[in-house]
Amino acid sequence: MKFIKKFCVCLFILVSLSIILLPIVNADEKNISNPNIASPSALLMDLKSGKILYEKNMNKKMYPASLTKVMTAIIVLENCDLNEIATVSYNAVMSMSPGYVTANLQVGEELTVEQLLYVLMVGSSNDAAIVLAEHVSGSVEEFAKVMNEKAKEINCTSTNFVNPNGAHDENHYSTAHDLALIAKYAMHNEMFRTLVSTTSYKLPKSNKYNKEDRLFNTTNALIMKNNTYYYEYATGIKTGFTTPAKNCLIASAKKDNLELLTVVLGSGQNNQGLSERYLDTINLFEYGYNNYTITEVIKSGGVVQTTNINNATRDTKKLDAVVANDISVLIKTSDKNNALLPKVHLNEELKAPIKKGDVIGSVTYTTEGIDYTENLVANNDVKKSRTSINIFILLVIVLFIYLYLKSKKRKNKNIRFKKRINRY
């Protein structure tokens, strides 16, 4: 009987522990498992380093629809002043097929580049894209050439643009990876960041339009408060849709200094009628923030290495090599407590004098296959030893005496030789 009681008590304890520990194990597995993505092509990238944290058919050629406008916007920003005046052409108004979004621009209407960029990126207006393309390059065809040149410059390998707005064309295509590279590049521009985070914009009256009823709301539900798909950490960027391309989205988000970029292409709706492009994007962001973090490895001024300078004074020969700027790295959450070892490279033959703040080498921390490198600078002055100066002076004096004596000896030899000649 006592044995049975003890057995029951032990069994009860084991069952209780398994119930307590099971959620913990499941939570860990949930954190590290890949997200469930319905879209046929998708990508998650760390915006700062460009490291790809998740991908699904990221190199598959797809139709980008209005995601094309990301490239259009950055080319315009790099080639135009925001206050420049662009004139709406007949082609810009009349070339759009029915069903494509327009801003109701008028032939001959004069608008600033800045106004057109807001209309382009907030309202996703296709006529605005054509006006901007013609303003920059004279024609849509010439602008497309600039777009493709820029794509190659950004290291895109499977992209071809034929228009500035993403209107469907069999030869107009890209990939999730290439679009991520384009968006990452564009996010270095502060005005671009402002454009893609704006939720509404109103065009003022113009020379051809006497009303202020052209109001544009963002097509990106992630940044619209009170929307079903609102995501509190989202910061932009651009939606896209055509019937062949289906629903597309490039999105960005920032949480605790970790800035992420997502691309989803060819999305549809799930069984409940919900948009997969938003559900997939939010799942990608949550996967990134649950499994990765930004960790500060060392602060600016932190000592990485101390080294002795040979020709320095006794009081200053010890030189502290400190990091010039803070170093923060992307790391898996599960590894955040692991120490990272630095790789230090000091300049060859460091010699006094050295001034505080002089660059004396570099330090590199490597994690997740990414190298984070910063300059190392001197944390203190290193003065040249007088002994070494005295030795140098002494060597100069010895050399001078040697050359003097050698010269004098040669002179005396010449005098004796001349005397011998005179005897004859």
Over residues 28-47, the pLDDT tens digits come to 334 457 899 999 999 999 99
Which of 245, 265, 293 represents a domain boundary (last residue)?
Answer: 293
Model confidence pLDDT, tens digit, residues 268-298: 999 999 999 999 999 999 999 999 999 999 9
Please tell me the least confidently modeled range out of 3-12, 110-119, 168-177, 247-256. Answer: 3-12
Which of 293, 312, 347 represents a domain boundary (last residue)?
Answer: 293
Identify whether residues 284 and 304 lie together within a single domain.
no
Identify whether residues 160 and 213 lie together within a single domain.
yes
Please tell me the least confidently modeled range out of 240-244, 272-276, 368-372. Answer: 368-372
Q: Give the pLDDT band of residue 402 (cuts 50, 70, 90).
A: confident
Structure tokens at 45: 């990238």
In a domain, 355, yes or no: yes
Q: How many domains does the chain have?
A: 2
What is residue 310's predicted lDDT score, i.e. its pLDDT?
Answer: 87
Under 8 Å CB-to-CB from 10, ≥6 apart: which residues? none
Read off the CATH number of the domain in which 65 is found: 3.40.710.10
Q: Which domain range does residue 151 map to?
A: 41-293
Question: Is the CB of residue 367 less than 8 Å from the CB of residue 334?
Answer: no
Identify whether residues 284 and 312 lie together within a single domain.
no
Evaluated on CA atoms 71, 111, 80, 186, the torsion sign reads: negative
The model's pTM is 0.81
Average pLDDT in the chain: 89
In a domain, 12, yes or no: no
Identify whether residues 175 and 308 lie together within a single domain.
no
Q: Among 266, 262, 312, which Cα is nearest to 47's?
A: 262
Q: Is the pLDDT of residue 17 over 90?
A: no
Identify whether residues 234 and 122 lie together within a single domain.
yes
Q: Give the pLDDT band of residue 123 (cuts 50, 70, 90).
A: very high
What is residue 8's predicted lDDT score, i.e. its pLDDT?
Answer: 45
Q: Give the pLDDT band of residue 386 (cuts 50, 70, 90).
A: confident
DSSP calls for 234-264: EEEEEEEEETTTEEEEEEEEEETTEEEEEEE
Q: Is the pLDDT of residue 422 over 60?
A: no
In a domain, 213, yes or no: yes
- With pLDDT > 70 as the criterion, what percentage of the chain qualifies? 86
Q: Is the pLDDT of residue 394 over 80?
A: no
Question: Is the CB of residue 280 less than 8 Å from the CB of residue 264?
Answer: yes
Identify whether residues 284 and 218 lie together within a single domain.
yes
Q: Which residue has the tokens 């005295």?
A: 390
Mean pLDDT of 378-388: 85
Please tell me the least confidently modeled range out of 337-346, 352-361, 399-408. Answer: 399-408
Q: Is the pLDDT of residue 26 over 70?
A: no
- How far apart, in Å, do the first and last CA atoms of the chain sit? 141
Which of 341, 362, 378 represents a domain boundary (last residue)?
Answer: 378
Query: Which is more confidently placed, 421 or 56?
Result: 56
Question: Is the CB of residue 109 less than 8 Å from the CB of residue 88?
Answer: yes
In a domain, 390, yes or no: no
DSSP calls for 180-231: HHHHHHHTTSHHHHHHHH--EEE----SS------EEE-S-GGGSTTSTT--
Q: Is the pLDDT of residue 121 over 90?
A: yes
Read off the CATH number of the domain in which 327 is found: 2.60.410.10
